[in-house]
Structure formats: structure tokens, C-alpha cells
């Protein structure tokens, strides 16, 4: 007998609903998110038939629960949370959320609208590893920005000179300076000779002379904090600088590993063949695209997933175009970064960008338009497993010929 399973995932437990082809509830239960609970879930589902014939709808496309079900051989179908939210009024007058109610909706939607849902196909282990590295690095970069802003704000409150001494407060030399001279008092005897030794020891490559660096430090607003306050804030500044130094080092190690990993993947080499894609940006794109070629049915599907295709609202004579909020935000950040860089290396990309700007589009909008244009090409190259060749790109070839 054909059945349909809906699974509303949670942090500590998951609600499960099983319905038959007529929509009748066959079973309704909850399982704990632990080894015994997941084993019990698989055992109970297998009573209804072979795993390959049991579709399971769930609101997320990844995670431990999804991996366990896919590994067991079940057909897992991701359903966007907005789909469940929109379907609630179909089943009850009150649009209130409940775990068991959402599990029933998730089970019934594949029964009635299964042709609209695409079963999940697992990515390769190499793609999963790259995705973990890339997303982890992105999160650490965001943490670095938070700590750098916190450190700058702290220094501005009691020692502005140290905050503006070097261009990047999270650079190794800036962090080394703060750790050695965390308070104005500790740097009060800093003269030309000692500053020159410090700069040489930390391989300072700036264009300013030692006198200019010292002049910048001394021309900053005078600190007003008393001795006890300055000492306390200096200790905190040293602690943040130490944490930032370790974080920056780990990000560098992850970046090196990511660059090596993306170069080993065929999909990575395809993305890297595009102008100014780089390695880190190419890795970010590759990690989100994956290696399942049938995942995106068309270039429009990919553009919508990447958030570079606008949403059009139209009713009668009313029509408006709005920013797409529901998308893979990591993929959008990666493709727009690539598009912005590409216009400095590709005459065709520069032309697309300038035409958008001439129509009155602001920079972010123009970059998204360019990203949408690039995705048309990237989708074809990715599907065909071939690198980008400007000579096979008619628009780029025409501009190159004119130049």
C-alpha cells in the first residue's frame, strides 16, 4: 500500500504523520531526537513497505535527521516552510501552528501536489565536506567582524590612537600592537627607535615612515579615562585582540584547505574558469550548487534560488517588482560577489553592468542584474560539465572582437 509521510522536525523531538492515498491518517506519533528515537522512526516506517517506496516530506533539505533518512533509503522531499504556512488554511479555519498539524499537512501535500515537489538527491561526500568548510569559514569571518567592531569601539572609548593607527584593526600588526601596548600608559615611552623595532619585527609593509606612524598615534584625541578604568579596558582590549589573533589564524588555515579542496573538484574547476571567480568565491558557489546536475530544472530556477531574480506581483492593472527574500542567501552573496569582481576582467560583464547603471539602477541592483546574466551561462556550463570559454560566448566574443 502506498503511504505518505510528513515529518515536522524539532530540536528535541519530531512529529510524524502517515496517511494513505485517500488522506486517512494511519499513524500519528512523536520520536525523540536521539539514537533510539531515530532507530524507532526507521523501524516503524519500514513496516509499511520498502524505504524506496515511502516518500517523506520535511521542511528542511539538510541536517542529521535528513542524512539518517536518506542513508536508510527513504525518498526525502523538502518542502519550503512557506508552503506549509500557505496550506494551513486549507485544513482548518484557524491558522495556528502545531507540530502534529504541520506533520499532517506535510504528509498530505505530497499526496495532492507531489508532482510539484522534487525528491532530495544526496550530494557527494566531497561536496558535503566543502560545504561544511565554506559555511564554517563564513561564520568565522562574521565573528571576526563582530570582534573587530567590538575592539574598535572599546579603543575609541579610552584610546583612539591605537584604534586608528593601522588601516585594518584585525590585521596581525594591529593586534600585535594592542597586545603589547593595551593602554595609553604602556605606550607613553614609545619613541622612534622602539617603534621602528616593533614595525620591523612585525614586518610592517605600509608606506608611512616611523615618524608618520608615531605622529598619527600622538595626534589622536587625548584619552580621558582614569588609571583604573584605562587599566581595566586595556585588559579587555588585550583579551579581544588575543581572541582575534587566534581567529584570524584559523580562518587562514581554513581558507588554504578550501582553496585546495575546490581545485580538486570538477564542479569547482568549472566555476573557477569564470573571470575573477577566484578560489574562495568559487568554493562558496560550488558548495551551494553541489554536484547533482538535475537539482535545478532551469536557469530561472537557479536564479530564483540564488535570489537574483526579482518577484513580480501582478493583479489587473496593478504590477510591481520586488526584491526576492526567500532564497539561498549564501549563494546570493557568493554569486553577487563574483559578478561584481567579473566586471573588472570581462568587457561583456562591464557592459552589462554599465547598461544597468545607465538605466538608473543602483550598484547592488546592477550587480544582481549582472549576476543573473552570468547564471544563465553558469547553469549551462554546470549542466554540461564544461569550463567557461569566452570564445563560445557570442556576446562576450563580439565585444572582444570590437575591442
* Residue-by-residue DSSP string for 29-59: EEEESSHHHHHHHHHHHHTTS-GGG-EEEES
| Residue partners of 218: CB distance under 8 A and separation at least 6 | 161
- Residue corresponding to grid cell 501552528: 97
User: What integer is the mean pLDDT of 176-181?
Assistant: 94
CATH architecture of the domain 128-261 equals: Orthogonal Bundle (1.10)
Residue limits of CATH 1.10.287.4070 in the chain: 128-261
User: What integer is the mean pLDDT of 339-360?
Assistant: 96
Chain-centroid distance of CA 225 in Å reads 41
The pLDDT, as a whole number, for residue 46 is: 94
Whether the pLDDT of residue 401 is over 80: the answer is: no
The Cα 310–Cα 2 span in angstroms is 39
Residue limits of CATH 3.30.420.40 in the chain: 4-116
The answer to whether 277 and 271 are in contact (CB under 8 A) is yes
The pLDDT, as a whole number, for residue 396 is: 79
DSSP state of 363: H
CATH number, domain 4-116: 3.30.420.40
User: What integer is the mean pLDDT of 42-49?
Assistant: 94
Q: Following DSSP, what letter does each residue of 66-89 receive, concatenated?
A: HHHHHHTT-EEEE--HHHHHHHHH
Cα–Cα–Cα angle for 140, 144, 150, rounded to 5 degrees? 145
Confidence tier at 300 by pLDDT (50, 70, 90):
very high
Cα–Cα–Cα angle for 174, 205, 166, rounded to 5 degrees? 30
State the pTM of this model.
0.86
| Long-range Cβ pairs for the range 139-144 (8 Å, 24+) | 140/247, 140/250, 140/251, 140/254, 141/251, 143/247, 144/170, 144/244, 144/247, 144/248, 144/251
The pLDDT tens digits for 71-99 are: 899 999 998 888 888 888 888 777 677 88
The Cα 37–Cα 168 span in angstroms is 50
The Cα 272–Cα 284 span in angstroms is 11
- Residue corresponding to grid cell 492593472: 317
The answer to whether 210 and 286 are in contact (CB under 8 A) is no
Question: For the packed helices 394-402 and 347-358, what is the interaxial angle rounded to 10 degrees?
Answer: 90
The pLDDT tens digits for 234-269 are: 999 999 999 999 999 999 999 999 999 999 999 999
User: What integer is the mean pLDDT of 10-16?
Assistant: 91
How many Cβ atoms sit within 10 Å of the Cβ of residue 260? 11
- H or E element that contains 143: helix 125-158
Q: Phi and psi of 13, rounded to 5°?
A: -150, 160
The pLDDT tens digits for 309-318 are: 988 888 888 8
Confidence tier at 107 by pLDDT (50, 70, 90):
very high
The pLDDT, as a whole number, for residue 402 is: 63
The answer to whether 388 and 273 are in contact (CB under 8 A) is yes
Q: Phi and psi of 125, rounded to 5°?
A: -65, -35
User: What integer is the mean pLDDT of 390-401?
Assistant: 78
Amino acid at each position: 500500500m502506498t503511504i505518505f509521510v510528513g515529518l515536522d522536525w524539532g530540536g528535541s523531538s519530531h512529529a510524524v504523520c502517515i496517511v494513505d492515498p485517500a488522506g486517512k491518517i494511519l499513524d500519528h506519533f512523536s520520536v525523540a531526537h536521539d539514537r533510539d528515537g531515530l532507530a524507532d522512526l526507521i523501524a516503524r516506517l519500514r513496516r509499511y513497505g520498502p524505504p524506496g517506496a515511502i516518500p517523506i516530506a520535511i521542511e528542511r533539505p539538510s541536517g542529521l535527521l535528513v542524512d539518517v533518512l536518506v542513508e536508510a533509503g527513504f525518498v526525502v522531499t523538502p518542502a519550503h516552510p512557506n508552503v506549509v504556512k500557505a496550506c494551513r488554511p486549507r485544513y482548518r479555519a484557524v491558522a495556528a501552528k502545531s507540530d502534529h498539524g504541520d506533520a499532517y499537512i506535510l504528509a498530505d501535500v505530497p499526496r495532492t501536489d507531489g508532482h510539484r515537489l522534487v525528491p532530495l538527491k544526496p550530494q557527494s561526500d566531497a561536496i558535503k565536506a566543502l560545504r561544511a568548510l565554506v559555511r564554517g569559514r563564513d561564520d568565522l569571518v562574521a565573528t571576526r567582524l563582530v570582534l573587530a567592531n567590538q575592539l574598535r569601539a572599546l579603543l575609541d572609548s579610552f584610546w583612539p590612537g591605537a584604534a586608528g593607527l593601522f588601516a585594518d584593526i584585525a590585521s596581525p600588526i594591529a593586534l600585535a600592537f594592542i597586545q603589547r601596548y593595551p593602554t595609553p600608559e604602556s605606550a607613553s615611552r614609545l619613541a622612534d627607535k622602539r617603534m621602528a623595532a616593533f614595525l620591523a619585527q612585525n614586518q610592517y609593509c605600509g608606506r608611512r615612515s616611523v615618524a608618520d606612524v608615531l605622529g598619527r598615534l600622538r595626534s589622536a584625541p587625548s584619552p580621558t579615562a582614569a588609571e583604573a578604568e584605562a587599566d581595566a579596558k586595556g585588559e579587555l582590549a588585550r583579551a579581544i585582540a588575543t581572541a582575534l589573533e587566534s581567529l584570524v589564524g584559523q580562518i587562514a588555515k581554513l581558507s588554504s584547505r578550501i582553496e585546495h579542496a575546490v581545485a580538486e573538484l570538477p564542479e569547482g574547476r568549472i566555476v573557477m574558469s569564470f573571470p575573477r571567480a577566484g578560489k574562495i568565491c568559487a568554493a562558496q558557489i560550488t558548495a551551494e550548487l553541489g554536484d547533482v546536475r538535475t537539482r535545478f530544472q532551469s536557469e530561472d530556477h537557479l536564479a530564483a534560488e540564488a535570489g537574483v531574480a526579482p518577484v513580480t506581483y501582478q493583479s489587473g492593472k496593478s504590477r510591481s517588482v520586488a526584491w526576492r527574500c526567500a532564497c539561498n542567501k549564501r549563494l546570493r552573496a557568493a554569486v553577487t560577489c563574483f559578478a561584481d569582481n567579473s566586471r573588472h576582467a570581462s568587457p561583456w560583464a562591464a557592459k552589462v553592468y554599465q547598461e544597468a547603471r545607465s538605466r538608473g539602477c543602483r550598484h547592488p541592483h546592477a550587480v544582481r542584474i549582472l549576476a543573473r546574466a552570468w547564471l544563465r551561462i553558469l547553469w549551462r556550463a554546470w549542466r554540461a560539465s564544461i569550463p567557461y570559454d569566452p570564445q563560445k560566448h557570442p556576446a562576450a566574443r563580439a565585444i572582444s572582437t570590437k575591442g
